[in-house]
A and B are shown apart, each in its own frame.
Chain A
């Protein structure tokens, strides 16, 4: 048989081999068997010296054609098998299998609300300050115009360490602590834990407050309202209405209680034809206390109350969180049940 014929018969031979090749490895084996260094094609070509120089170019040409054909056949078969494998993989793919979830963490709702509020005031140019939770009577009461026999001390039931040392009942001590260190103008936000001797459905003996204080020249109540309106609308949405009504705090004068339109019923007092439980049908919910810094407080820290005026406000973080997230039971904040915590991712 001529070499040319032998070469040409390789095509047929590979074809029948490929008919039996059902895997990529089988195809690869055939590739080695036919086109490898010691493969069939190479073996035939080893016999090239047997031929006369005139015959050689013709055989070489044929060998090239055959080699291309073989390569083509192998590639074709491989592609076929690969697409079959891909189709098979897709057919078996189940998108509903569970995902490999990384751990899911959460910030405590108090932290979430606190961070949101602090960030708003940081953006407005306020400094964030912190201070001790166990306080002197002086910073917690005296410096805030609450002398020992003042009836307003009844407004806050206090936990004492000694007669003179107590757990701060509000974040307001940071007003005096800051003003004693710093001259106006100043704008601070003081977040932190506060304590009261009180425990029932709507009170826990520890909760969180955020205190704000701005002191400068000609600071006005209208500016306090502007500041709080901006902040409350950012937290509760741009439609939120802000109501100012007179109140009393020993360290501010005038003192104001601030209400916002109820976020549950939108101020209508009615949800799904039922009386709104959040605002008790009034359409308003109390959100914070504030006022213009009392001149007595300025005197205690050595500021001239004729020259400087300022405003201060304090709000309960849990209260905001309850309204914002619709949490009904205050005690849940401190049980740290992960089914609760995981809702604040």
Chain B
């Protein structure tokens, strides 16, 4: 809400600084967002008086003027406007001054005649779109005086953020009430004088309200003999200052009263209303209606309409219709002032995407008792500005008159809730200052009747808030409470937050960078990863097609991070992300299953710095080791890694299994997918299910095993195996041999000799076998015996040589 300080001062005699006003309003809950100076762009302009005006000798459309700007000599200005003439008072930008758009005015020559400035049109001044000619100012202004000051423009405007509960503050009057409260000032609401004439017209237009729930009251006045035209300059300046576009004297008055008093009004051309009546009723389902912005709207059966005897003429509380709008030839006006049900207006405005200043106020609630007065103020002003006569009487219907609720207030409850010892007398005085009628203050429970402008007073707690607000929220002394909990509610299981924290700490400690990506991606991203379509959650109203689906995998986000980082020259990446993936699930109360995932991405340089590290690139072993490290960290048991049959976006893809639980998959992003993200090297990836991991983690227990007493002995064997034989097969075979003394078997070297032609490619795998006896130290011959068993077992079961 834009509030002009000058306008405010007409309602309350505030004399303080703008900073004081800003602070006071903000601390009362009317947050001042900023101080706007709407005429900052024209602050250097001055008033000019055209002393002489002659045709340019070389150019028919130009005039050469001598303009008095308060200096010794009048300025020579060449002007192209058709309406420039001797004796006009005009707005002048002098050489060296700046236009609102930033252009600096320079001394120029037009067809040989020097011009020392410029005379401005309304558009150049920002007052309207008018630019067919220069703006003609009122007579009597002092040449050379500052334009902004001379026109008494509203040069300071506060942009105040009004919370949805404070409908009462959506007007100059409403904010003036708060200013009066803050600074203990009287209200000085401008007087008006309505002169009615002629016969009583209250029966000329009958008001029928078919849906009393949606229209609480409807008042109308008839004005005749109006001369439509531009509204006076002061009104146009003011409307511009508070962000409204001047249209015509009739429409401008309705807007002016709305901004001043908060009551939206609508002016119909009475001659275009048919059948001498107004019917407030809902639309026909599918009815087409053209609003005054020339848009055809399709209506629903619960849209509230203003109709005349034969058709719809306005969307109630939202926007008038083109068929009954005021136009250049209008002389008879039907002025509407009504109160509509907030929810109804909001539904219609929202559905049609048509929020107007009127609907904004109706949605939040307007003061029903003030409704007729606002209409009368507008009528008086219209009479004044258009020359219309206001007919005697009001056409009206009020099926649901305002009934003030009777509410209660307990000062002790107020003290308890606020935690402050506020006196009864302060509570009473505050409520009364806010317009409430307070009775029964000698008992513990008071009766409070709120004023009609405060529809937000519905319960005791609303009054408690008001007491706190006026007392000063910031004066409340802080007290640290004791936190009490019940034994039953304690939950010591590791919840998702705690488990994720554990993994994040692990990841950071290991040397990975935590990433966070949006939960939504584009369907096209998921398509690129060949992901199924049937389980996706689609966003109904996405901001863009890149964010129209909830992710069913974290990979697209991390790949986008990869692309971003490569684009910025970052060469080695070790990213991880913990987040939910989203899949359709009819059994869920939200229709969505959210599962926890840990994804890890390795790309490019293995180390951040070069020397003394060797330059090398991340490979499968890095990712596998990383995952093994995590599983060891979580004590969830030995994982096995087996090639997955197929995978939508990784190849190779390796399933990670602990016991009979699949934990996830690790592998390399398909090269054609990686290529789409500008990754030229292998992208190694892990996709792990943190829900499964958490279950394993919660049931894992750490048990101490006593340290061996006797020394171990080791022996190395080199196995020559076909290159296609998995190392795991050798480990498995040795394990199957069940040697009680074999404590550990490690692969310590791999060598791939050059194969002779048409010989099978082999590799030499060297294993270190560690043996230990629990009750004695092993001798060489014991170890040799064990080694032979290993050799025998391998040579018999596998196509290998030792």
State whether A106 touches B485 (Cβ < 8 A). Answer: no
Stretch at the interface among A3-11, A72-80, A216-224: A216-224
Question: Given A150-B164, A185-B486, A253-B465 in contact, is the A295-B575 Cβ separation under 8 Å?
Answer: no
Across the interface, name the chain A residue whose C-beta is closest to B469: A246
- Complex: A236 Cα to B313 Cα, angstroms: 58
- Does B625 belong to the interface (CB within 8 Å)? no
Cα distance A204–B419 when bound, in Å?
37
Tell me which residues from 515 to 560 in chain B have a Cβ below 8 Å from any Cβ of chain A.
515-520, 537-543, 547, 550
Q: Which residues of A contact B347 (CB under 8 A)?
A: 149
Known: A152-B164, A222-B479. A205 touches B28 (CB 8 A): no
- For A258, give the chain B residue with the smallest CB separation: B473
**B166: A residues at CB distance < 8 A:** 248
Q: Is the CB of A193 within 8 A of B485?
A: no
Interface check B329, CB cutoff 8 A: no
Which single member of B418, B514, B540, B609 contacts A106 (CB below 8 Å)? Answer: B514
Interface flags for B341-352 (1: CB within 8 Å of A; 0: not) read 011101100000
A244 and B476 contact, Cβ closer than 8 Å, known pairs A195-B519, A223-B419: yes
When distances are taken between beta carbons in the complex, the residues of chain B under 8 Å from A242 are: 478
CA distance A3 to B616 in the complex (A): 67
Bound CA span A219–B613, Å? 60
In the bound complex, how far is the Cα of B164 from the Cα of A295, in angstroms?
18
Q: Is there a chain A Cβ closer than 8 Å to B512's Cβ? A: yes
Partner of A167, one of B29, B539, B613: B539
Q: Is B425 in contact with chain A by the CB < 8 A criterion?
A: no
**Docked-complex contact B513 and A128, CB < 8 angstroms:** no
By the criterion CB–CB under 8 Å, are A254 and B485 in contact? no
- A111:B514 contact, CB within 8 angstroms: yes
Residues of B within 8 A of A244 (CB): 473-474, 476
- On whether the beta carbons of A101 and B608 are closer than 8 Å, the reply is yes
Q: Give the interface centre of A222, A247, A336 by most chain B CB atoms within 10 Å.
A: A336
Asked whether A46 is an interface residue with its Cβ less than 8 Å from the other chain, the reply is no
**Is A229 an interface residue when CB atoms closer than 8 A count as contact?**
yes
Check B539–A294 contact: CB distance below 8 A. no
Known contacts A106-B513, A107-B514, A186-B485; decide if A248 and B164 are in contact (CB<8 Å). yes
How many A-B contacts are there with CB distance less than 8 Å?
269
A333 touches B516 (CB 8 A): yes
Do the beta carbons of B346 and A149 come within 8 Å of each other? yes
Q: Is the CB of B516 within 8 A of A103?
A: no
Q: Does B300 contact A (CB under 8 A)?
A: no
Most buried by A among B417, B490, B580: B417
Residues of B within 8 A of A243 (CB): 474
With an 8 A cutoff between CB atoms, is A227 at the interface? yes
Whether B29 lies near A218 (C-beta < 8 A) is no
A130 cross-chain contacts in B, Cβ below 8 A: 495-497
B-binding segment of A36-44, A49-57, A158-166: A158-166
Q: How far is the CB of A232 from the nearest CB of chain B, in Å?
A: 10
| Interface presence of B504 (CB below 8 A) | yes
Distance in Å from the Cβ of A212 to the closest Cβ of chain B? 11
Chain A neighbourhood of B564, CB < 8 A: 335-337
Complex: how many Å from CA A227 to CA B461?
22
Which of B344, B346, B473 contacts A256 (CB under 8 A)? Answer: B473
Tell me if A222 and B515 are in contact (CB < 8 A): no
Chain A residues in 8 Å Cβ range of B620: none
* A246-B473 CB under 8 A given contacts A125-B483, A152-B164, A199-B543: yes
- Please, which residues of chain B bring their CB within 8 A of the CB of A246? 27-29, 465, 468-469, 473
Cα A168 to Cα B514 with chains together (Å) = 24
Quick one: given A221-B419, A245-B27, A254-B468, are A230 and B480 in contact (CB under 8 Å)? yes
Q: Which one of B150-158, B585-593, B640-648 contacts A?
A: B585-593
**How many Å lie between the Cα of A126 and that of B543 in the bound state?**
36
Instruction: Map CB proximity to B onto A160-195 as digits: 1 under 8 Å, 0 otherwise.
Output: 111001010000000000000011011100010101
Partner of A222, one of B164, B418, B459: B418
Instruction: Flag if B561 contacts A149 (CB, 8 Å).
Output: no
| Contact B513–A247 (Cβ < 8 Å) | no
A124 at the interface (CB under 8 A from B): yes
- Would you give the shortest CB distance from A69 to chain B, in whole angstroms? 41
B484 and chain A: residue at smallest CB distance: A185
Q: CB-CB contacts of B319-346 with A at 8 A, as 1s and 0s?
A: 0000000000000000000000011101
Is residue B508 within 8 Å, beta carbon to beta carbon, of the partner chain?
yes
Contact A339 B465, beta carbon cutoff 8 Å:
no
- How close is A255's CB to chain B, nearest CB, in angstroms? 7
From the candidates A151, A197, A247, name the one contacting B364 in the complex (CB within 8 A).
A151
Given contacts A195-B519, A214-B483, A248-B29, contact A105 B476 (CB under 8 A): no
- Considering the complex, give the chain A residue whose CB is closest to the CB of B347: A149
Q: Which residue of B lies closest to A295 (CB)?
A: B461
| Complex: A97 Cα to B484 Cα, angstroms | 57
Which A residues are in CB contact (< 8 Å) with B38? none
- The answer to whether A309 and B164 touch across the interface, beta carbons within 8 angstroms, is no
CA distance in complex: A124, B516 (Å): 28
Q: Contact size class for A?
A: 35 or more
Chain B residue with Cβ nearest A217: B484
Q: Which residue of A lies closest to B163 (CB)?
A: A248
CA distance A336 to B557 in the complex (A): 10
A185 touches B485 (CB 8 A): yes
Q: Does B607 contact A (CB under 8 A)?
A: yes
Q: How far is the CA of A110 from the CA of B579 in the complex (A)?
A: 13
Q: Are B26 and A245 in contact (CB under 8 A)?
A: yes
Query: In whole Å, how far is B483's beta carbon from the nearest beta carbon of chain A?
Result: 4
Contact assessment for B574 and A107 in the assembled complex, using a CB-CB cutoff below 8 Å: no
Q: Hey, which chain A residues are within 8 Å of B580, CB to CB?
A: 133
Smallest CB-CB separation from A166: which chain B residue? B540
Q: From residue B222, how far is it (CB to closest CB) to chain A in Å?
A: 33
A96 within 8 A of B: no
A35 at interface, CB cutoff 8 A: no
A250 to B541, CA, bound (A): 24
Note all chain B residues with C-beta closer than 8 A to A152: 164-165
Interface flag for A98 (CB, 8 Å): yes
Verify if A300 is at the interface (C-beta below 8 Å from B).
no
A197 touches B543 (CB 8 A): yes
Q: Assuming the A-B contacts A106-B514, A335-B561, A341-B514, are A222 and B477 also in contact, with contact meaning beta carbons closer than 8 angstroms in the complex?
A: yes
Query: With A108-B516, A222-B418 given, is the CB distance from A125 to B485 under 8 Å?
Result: yes
Rounded to whole Å, the gap between the CB of A46 and the closest CB of chain B is: 36
Instruction: Give B747-793 interface residues, CB cut-off 8 Å to A.
Output: none
Known: A104-B608, A295-B459. A336 touches B516 (CB 8 A): yes
Is A117 interfacial (CB 8 A cutoff)? Answer: no
- Picked from A136, A155, A162, A254, the residue with its CB within 8 Å of the CB of B469 is A254
Residues of A with C-beta under 8 A to B418: 220-222, 254
User: How far does the alpha carbon of A335 sit from the alpha carbon of B589 in the complex, in Å?
Assistant: 33
Cβ-closest chain A residue relative to B465: A254
| Chain A residues within CB distance 8 Å of chain B | 97-98, 100-108, 110-111, 115, 118, 124-130, 132-136, 149-152, 154-155, 159-162, 165, 167, 182-183, 185-187, 191, 193, 195, 197, 199, 204-206, 214, 216, 218-223, 225-230, 242-248, 250, 253-257, 292, 294-295, 309, 333-339, 341-342, 345
In the assembled complex, 30 residue pairs joining A and B whose CB atoms fall closer than 8 Å, in A order, are A100-B613, A102-B511, A105-B510, A106-B508, A106-B513, A110-B516, A149-B346, A151-B346, A154-B164, A159-B543, A161-B539, A185-B483, A186-B489, A191-B497, A193-B519, A197-B541, A214-B483, A216-B484, A220-B417, A220-B419, A223-B480, A226-B478, A227-B481, A244-B476, A245-B29, A253-B465, A309-B416, A337-B565, A339-B570, A341-B513
Given contacts A111-B514, A132-B590, A336-B515, 7 further A-B contacts (CB under 8 A): A103-B607, A103-B608, A161-B550, A222-B478, A223-B479, A226-B481, A341-B515
Q: When A and B form their complex, which 10 residue pairs have the shortest distance between CB atoms, in order from nearest?
A: A103-B511, A222-B419, A220-B419, A246-B29, A248-B163, A125-B483, A149-B343, A254-B465, A226-B478, A223-B481
- B positions within 8 Å CB-CB of A: 26-29, 31, 163-166, 342-344, 346-347, 363-364, 416-420, 459, 461-462, 464-465, 468-469, 473-474, 476-481, 483-486, 489-491, 495-498, 501, 504-505, 507-520, 537-543, 547, 550, 561, 564-565, 568, 570, 573-575, 579-580, 582, 589-592, 594, 607-609, 611-613
